[in-house]
Chain A
Amino acid sequence: GAVVSQHPSWVICKSGTSVKIECRSLDFQATTMFWYRQFPKQSLMLMATSNEGSKATYEQGVEKDKFLINHASLTLSTLTVTSAHPEDSSFYICSARDPGRGEYNEQFFGPGTRLTVL
Chain B
Amino acid sequence: SQQGEEDPQALSIQEGENATMNCSYKTSINNLQWYRQNSGRGLVHLILIRSNEREKHSGRLRVTLDTSKKSSSLLITASRAADTASYFCVEQNNAGNMLTFGGGTRLMVKP
A residues 19-46 touching B (CB-CB < 8 Å): 32, 34, 36, 41-46
Cβ contact within 8 Å between A106 and B48: yes
Cβ contact within 8 Å between B42 and A109: yes
- Is B99 part of the contact surface with A, judged by Cβ < 8 Å? yes
Cβ contact within 8 Å between B48 and A112: no
Cβ contact within 8 Å between B102 and A43: yes
Q: Which partner residue on chain B sits nearest A94 by CB separation?
A: B42
Cβ contact within 8 Å between B40 and A49: no
Q: Which partner residue on chain B sits nearest A6 by CB separation?
A: B42
Q: How far is the CA of A114 from the CA of B40 in the complex (A)?
A: 8
Cβ contact within 8 Å between A43 and B101: yes
Task: List chain A residues, Cβ under 8 A from B35.
Answer: 109
Task: List chain A residues, Cβ under 8 A from B30.
Answer: 104-105
- Is B45 part of the contact surface with A, judged by Cβ < 8 Å? yes
A residues 39-72 touching B (CB-CB < 8 Å): 41-46, 49, 59
Jot down 14 A-B pairs with beta carbons below 8 A, ordered by A. Answer: A1-B45, A36-B101, A44-B101, A59-B1, A91-B40, A95-B43, A103-B31, A104-B48, A104-B50, A105-B92, A109-B35, A111-B41, A112-B41, A114-B40
